[in-house]
Amino acid sequence: MFEKIRSYLASELDISEDEITRDTTFESLGVDSLDTVEMVMDLEQELGVELEIEEKIATVGELVDFVESKVD
């Protein structure tokens, strides 16, 4: 799941995948809360699941863990 999300983020943000680790914060990527909502909506479509985020997700790893908990 990390690779899929990392690839998606790199494509959306026009950056190298190498710049994205599990510890990378969305703030450091220049992603705001509206961007996060849009990304989650895209992931919902791609994965065919509903992702209702009820807490703040600050890092790529937190997003990966959250998505994995909903997909499995």
Taking Cα atoms as reference points, which of 10, 7, 3, 4 lies closest to residue 47? 4
| CATH architecture classification, 2-71 | Orthogonal Bundle (1.10)
Q: Which residues are catalytic?
A: 32
- Sequence ranges of the domains in the chain: 2-71
What one-character DSSP code corresponds to residue 55? S
For range 2-8, the mean pLDDT: 94
For residue range 29-55, list pLDDT tens digits in order: 999 888 888 888 898 898 888 888 777
Q: Are 17 and 7 in contact (CB under 8 A)?
A: yes
pTM value?
Answer: 0.84
